[in-house]
Chain A
Amino acid sequence: MRVVRYWSVSHAGAMQRVYRALDRLFIRIDPLLRVVGYQRLEAPFAAVERVLKGWFFDCRMCGHCVLQSTGMSCPMNCPKQLRNGPCGGVRADGTCELDPGMRCVWVEAVRGAARLPGGERIEVIQVPLDHRLAGQSAWLAELRQRAAA
């Protein structure tokens, strides 16, 4: 829902804190997760992620979450799915070139990033999306990586 999505961006800082708390929790229980097996956790994690992030961010389950670098505005809601910044067509009132009823996700991203510690990460160049990851849990992938490090 757009209203919720806009709300999440307005509260980007709080969103990030929740995110981090969850992150810490999962890292702490990593040994347990290992016992269960990351492979087996994929489906339930993805299901929870789809619901929660779907509600707050209109997440599209691209599988490679960049919310922390986009002020908590999900770039996959951009009709062009741009992950590196806005296109040149943003309307004067900040709405989308292709959908005048929607605020450009990148105008939102800039707004959210200003409220986020580490908001400068909006300047990081994102690599092209790996489309094989679609539908997979980005959380789990990230946890796995972090726990392994």
Chain B
Amino acid sequence: MRFDDEPITPGDPLPILPGHHSAGRFERLLRAGVFAITAELSPPDSANAEDVYARARIFDGYVDGINATDGSGANCHMSSAGVCALLTRVGYAPVMQISCRDRNRIAIQGDVLGAAAMGVNNLLCLTGDGVAVGDHPAAKPVFDLDAIALLGIVRTMREQARFASGRVLTTPPQVFLGSAANPFAPPFDFQVARLAKKARAGAEFVQTQYCFDVPLLERFMRQARDEGLAERLFILVGIGPLASARAAEWMRSHVPGVHIPDAVVDRLRRARGKGAAKAEGKRICIDILERVREIPGVCGVHFMAYRQEEAVAEIIDRSRALDGRIPWYPGRDARFAPASDSPTELQQEAWA
């Protein structure tokens, strides 16, 4: 999809449309009703910008937004602000994750302003994993705010141009606000109430935890629709390929909040032979993608394919989740540069 008001320099913002909050492509696509795809970029343990670009390029032409994680799993990596600064320079649409684990309200609000100034249009407000699960268990957990309080604060910054203290901002951050949801963990009946709280606090989109259990998601979505949340929020379902039965076992016992039904693990276990489990993992992911896409109220999917980033393109191709659309990436439009003044057929197809 190509917008007719595309900026000439890729890093420049798009005009903010009426009723929109941000200058970003991601919000535009969702509001236009396009099935959107985002993916998580695993941040490098290095101070090299090229490492970030190399990881982003893997998704070129396949995703509408790139999540920059903020010390996910309480492990130390390049900061989400740093990754976003690099990504926005060349025009990518990052979703900057902000976790409440490591910073208090003073630091976080400062980061929100800095991020918006760098051209970050999407923020994902998270509580964050506890330090005990990560590589620095001796660190001091901050948790000055929780995700819901954080949403409220950023919305106040955006809409009332004020810090939480009441002090006035001269230019408010124009950001599209998101948060996470976990339909797959107890207390199940409260998960929708929690989602409603997030919507009331200011969330406009949510990305869910990994979905390996479609019936549970269906139940959650039904409740969300009954509460009118499906109209208020753009819901993207978290998915990702599993590499093997062992990886699945490890994940469900070590990664907080991940629920993988035995049936899925068994399916992986039955795949024998070199590469068979991996292929089966992709097939499971495609199945899930196709099924969640049919659920009313699901607006897109969010890939978390740690160490399997290369598989994302294949999964998207095989499931035809993009319907032939080519999401923007640096150089996309140059690749289809018209020889004459009128767009070529290929170009028209890509922009459609």
B20 CB–A CB distance under 8 Å: no
Interfacial chain B residues near A84, Cβ < 8 Å: 146-149, 194, 197, 201
Chain B residues with CB under 8 A of A89:
129-130, 182, 185, 256-257
Closest to B105 in A: A128
Supposing A84-B197, A85-B197, A86-B194 touch, asked if A94 and B256 sit within 8 A by C-beta, the answer is no
Is A87's beta carbon under 8 Å from chain B?
yes
Contact A85 B148, CB 8 Å, known A106-B190, A107-B186, A107-B187: yes
Give every chain A residue within 8 A of B146 (Cβ-Cβ): 80-85
CA distance A131 to B143 in the complex (A): 12
Within 8 A of A (CB), among B154-208: 164, 180-182, 185-187, 189-190, 193-194, 196-197, 200-201
Q: In the bound complex, do residue A110 and residue B130 qualify as a contact, i.e. CB atoms below 8 Å apart?
A: no
Measured CA separation A129–B133 after assembly (Å): 25
* Interface size class of chain B, counting residues whose CB lies under 8 Å from the partner chain: 35 or more
B259 touches A (CB below 8 Å): yes
Q: How large is the interface on A (under 10, 10 to 19, 20 to 34, 35 or more residues)?
A: 20 to 34
In the complex the two chains form, is A79's CB within 8 Å of B130's CB? yes
A128 near B149: Cβ-Cβ < 8 Å: yes
B164 cross-chain contacts in A, Cβ below 8 A = 128
Q: A86 contacts which of B128, B143, B187 (Cβ < 8 Å)?
A: B187
Set of chain A residues within 8 Å of B145, measured between Cβ atoms? 128
B200 contact set on A, CB distance < 8 A:
125
B189 nearest CB neighbor, chain A only: A110
Indicate if A97 sits at the interface (CB-CB under 8 A).
Answer: yes
The answer, yes or no, to whether A127 is at the interface (CB within 8 Å) is: yes
The residues of B that contact A127 with a CB separation of less than 8 Å are 149, 152
| Measured CA separation A125–B145 after assembly (Å) | 12
How many Å from the CB of A104 to the closest CB on chain B? 7
| A90 interface residue per 8 A CB criterion | yes
Complex interface: chain B residues within 8 A of A104 (CB): 186-187
Q: Once the chains bind, are A85 and B141 in contact (CB under 8 Å)? A: no
- Contact across chains for A97 and B257 when beta carbons are under 8 A apart: yes
Q: Which residues of the other chain, B, contact A131 by a CB distance below 8 angstroms?
A: 144
Query: A92-B259, A104-B186 given as contacts; is B194 within 8 A of A128 (CB)?
Result: no
Nearest Cβ on chain A to B320's Cβ, whole angstroms: 30
* Interface membership of B16, Cβ < 8 A: no
Q: Specify which chain A residues have a CB less than 8 angstroms from the CB of B141 in the assembled complex.
A: 79-80
* Residues of A92-127 whose CB lies within 8 A of B: 92-94, 97-98, 104, 106-107, 110, 122-123, 125-127
Q: Which of B133, B144, B149, B189 contacts A126 (CB 8 A)?
A: B149
CA distance A9 to B164 in the complex (A): 33
Task: For B196, give the chain A residue with the smallest CB separation.
Answer: A123
Closest-CB distance, B134 to chain A (whole angstroms) = 11
Distance between Cα atoms of A93 and B185 in the complex (Å): 9
- Give the distance in Å from the alpha carbon of A126 to the alpha carbon of B149 in the complex: 7
CB distance from A69 to the nearest CB of B (A): 12
CB distance from B110 to the nearest CB of A (A): 16
User: A1-32 interface mask toward B, CB cutoff 8 Å, 1 = contact, 0 = none?
Assistant: 00000000000000000000000000000000
A80 touching B127 in the complex, CB below 8 Å, given contacts A88-B180, A123-B196, A125-B148: yes
B187 surroundings in chain A (CB, below 8 A): 86, 90, 94, 104, 106-107, 110
Excluding A81-B143, A94-B187, 5 further A-B contacts by CB distance (< 8 Å) are A79-B141, A88-B257, A123-B193, A123-B197, A125-B201
9 tightest A-B CB contacts, nearest first: A89-B256, A88-B182, A84-B148, A98-B130, A85-B194, A88-B257, A97-B256, A89-B257, A110-B187
Pairs A–B under 8 Å by Cβ, sample size 30: A79-B141, A80-B127, A80-B146, A84-B146, A84-B147, A84-B149, A84-B194, A84-B197, A85-B146, A85-B190, A86-B187, A86-B194, A87-B127, A88-B185, A88-B256, A89-B182, A89-B256, A90-B257, A91-B185, A97-B256, A98-B130, A110-B187, A110-B189, A110-B190, A126-B148, A127-B149, A127-B152, A128-B153, A128-B164, A129-B144
Give the interface of B toward A (CB within 8 A): 100-101, 105, 127-130, 132-133, 141, 143-149, 152-153, 164, 180-182, 185-187, 189-190, 193-194, 196-197, 200-201, 209, 256-257, 259
